[in-house]
């Protein structure tokens, strides 16, 4: 069966090139041959080859193998995981062995046995695939390790509105349909996306997120597609983008309504062609992801205003899920309060057994402009401040200020935590407004919230 691999053959003998191309063209998707090794740098810039078959000598009368070793090292500078199989004349085994010590994978002696030649290249191809798989697994593990400390909540509720969301999740999770989640800030759009992933066929693989508002437009492409070493000043090594990290799993693109039209066009091309190109690279990489997007904006109105591409909107919302505001699911407030109370009691080592009925009544009657996220922050603060086993109305902050005594400590982290909590509380849990009041970027606030476990 023909493999999708790409093979590059470099030899100054035209007859050998023809023979190898005929031998391998029925085995692999692409077999490219070149006579001049000086073309190697430009060729590996244009295409990402799985196996490179490299002659040891190119100059007449020279049989040292140094030329082959030189070009092998040049290739490995560009791709340290490159698989290189050398071609060497009979009797030059020592030269070939030396090449393997320097970084080569295997060698083939001339004249060769066709069956053995094919087997050698097929094994080299399998080794390349294994290297890529291991590298991808390591990159995914690094991504998972960065997120392992986060405590993600679950969707809590039993109101009609939230039950409708549950039903839709059950219907769409097992499909590969692109999902668009619509909802106000703080309603739990990411939780819905995670629930879809957890119930999908991709649940055993990674769930990767990218918040479009947390990444400047100039960096969005490198964050999403990755980059190769030397693509720009600080690109010291190759780095995969979020799409590559999400291979086999789910990519959650939050606040997609904030993408520029240029970024929208590039994302649309990826979804249409199912392949990406890292920044600074000329070759393409096939992708396999399930895309879930979210926004708090009216994308249909943005299309009418010329601010969002209509063709991209069709691509991302095969199914649309509308997440209700907290005001639309008032009956869930008691369940949510109990859930967050248990969560933060465990986190902060408190023994809180119940909530005062007056406090619960006030929570139920509050307007909740910041939705579930605002409720979560307020309950967390109440648990921190509570000095008994019962949460009292006085423990809950609804726009209350931090006193001078409360911030006059020498614990910088605690003071910073309290100030951030105050800003979030004052701005009803809306991160962008809180960041503006604090005089920091939304990304900086987001990082500090992660640091203190406020997500």
Taking the chain, what is the end-to-end CA distance rounded to the nearest angstrom? Answer: 49
Per-residue confidence at 7, pLDDT binned at 50, 70, 90?
very high
Instruction: Kindly indicate whether the domain formed by 3-130 is annotated with CATH number 2.120.10.30.
Output: no
In CATH terms, are 160-322 and 326-451 the same topology? Answer: no
Per-residue confidence at 258, pLDDT binned at 50, 70, 90?
very high
Query: Is this structure's pTM higher than 0.75?
Result: no
Q: Which CATH number fits domain 326-451: 1.10.3720.10, 2.160.10.10, 1.10.8.60, 3.30.470.20?
A: 1.10.8.60
pLDDT score for 28: 92
Q: Which CATH number fits domain 160-322: 3.90.1150.10, 3.20.20.60, 3.40.1080.10, 3.40.50.300?
A: 3.40.50.300
> Domain-by-domain residue ranges, the chain?
3-130, 160-322, 326-451
pLDDT score for 407: 47
* DSSP of 358-421: HHHHHHHHS--TTHHHHHHHHHHHHHHH--SSEE-GGGS-SSPPPPHHHH-SS-HHHHHHHHHH
Over 80: is that where the pLDDT of 352 sits? yes
Average pLDDT over residues 85-108: 82
Question: Mind listing the pLDDT tens digit for each residue in 355-398?
Answer: 999 999 999 999 898 999 999 999 998 998 888 999 998 888 76
Question: Mind listing the pLDDT tens digit for each residue in 402-445?
Answer: 444 444 454 556 667 778 877 877 776 777 778 877 778 777 88
List of residues 6+ apart from 261 with CB closer than 8 A: 307, 308, 309
List of residues 6+ apart from 220 with CB closer than 8 A: 212, 259, 260, 263
pLDDT score for 453: 66
């Amino acid at each position: 069966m023909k493999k999708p691999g790409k093979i590059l053959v470099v030899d100054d003998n035209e007859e050998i090139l023809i023979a190898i191309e005929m031998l391998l063209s029925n085995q692999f998707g692409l077999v490219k041959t070149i006579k001049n090794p000086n073309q190697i740098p430009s060729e590996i810039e244009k295409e990402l080859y799985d196996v490179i078959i490299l002659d040891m000598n190119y100059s007449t009368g020279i049989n040292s193998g140094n030329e082959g070793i030189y070009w092998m090292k040049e290739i490995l500078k560009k791709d340290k995981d490159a698989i290189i199989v050398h071609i060497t004349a009979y009797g030059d085994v020592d030269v070939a062995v030396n090449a393997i010590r320097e970084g080569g994978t295997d060698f083939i002696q001339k004249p060769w046995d066709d069956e053995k030649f094919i087997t050698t290249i097929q094994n080299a191809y399998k080794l390349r695939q294994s290297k890529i798989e291991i590298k991808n697994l390591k990159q995914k593990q690094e991504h998972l390790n960065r997120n392992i400390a986060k405590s993600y909540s679950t969707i809590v509720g039993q109101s009609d509105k939230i039950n409708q969301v549950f039903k839709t999740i059950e219907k769409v999770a097992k499909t590969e349909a692109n999902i668009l989640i619509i909802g106000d800030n703080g309603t739990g759009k990411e939780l819905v996306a995670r629930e879809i992933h957890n119930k999908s066929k991709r649940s055993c693989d990674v769930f990767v997120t990218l918040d479009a508002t947390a990444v400047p437009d100039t960096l969005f492409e490198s964050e999403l597609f990755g980059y190769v070493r030397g693509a720009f000043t600080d690109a010291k090594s190759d780095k995969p983008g979020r799409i590559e990290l999400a291979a086999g799993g789910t990519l959650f693109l939050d606040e997609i309504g904030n993408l520029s039209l240029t970024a929208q066009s590039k994302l649309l091309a990826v979804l249409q062609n199912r392949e990406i190109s890292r920044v600074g690279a000329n070759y393409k990489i096939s992708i396999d992801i399930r895309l879930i997007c979210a926004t708090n904006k009216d994308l249909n109105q943005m299309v009418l205003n010329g601010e969002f591409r209509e063709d991209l909107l069709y691509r991302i919302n095969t199914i649309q899920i509308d997440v209700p505001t907290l005001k639309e699911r008032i009956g869930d407030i008691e369940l949510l309060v109990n859930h967050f109370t248990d969560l933060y009691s465990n986190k902060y080592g408190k023994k809180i057994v119940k909530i005062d009925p007056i406090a619960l009544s006030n929570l139920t009657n509050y307007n909740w402009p910041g939705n579930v996220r605002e409720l979560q922050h307020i309950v967390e603060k109440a648990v921190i401040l509570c000095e008994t086993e019962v949460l009292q109305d006085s423990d809950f902050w609804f726009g209350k200020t931090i006193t001078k005594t409360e911030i006059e400590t020498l614990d910088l982290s605690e003071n910073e935590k309290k100030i951030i909590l105050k800003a979030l509380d004052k701005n009803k849990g809306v991160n962008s407004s809180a960041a503006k009041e604090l005089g920091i970027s939304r990304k900086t606030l987001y990082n500090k919230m992660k640091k203190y476990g406020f997500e």
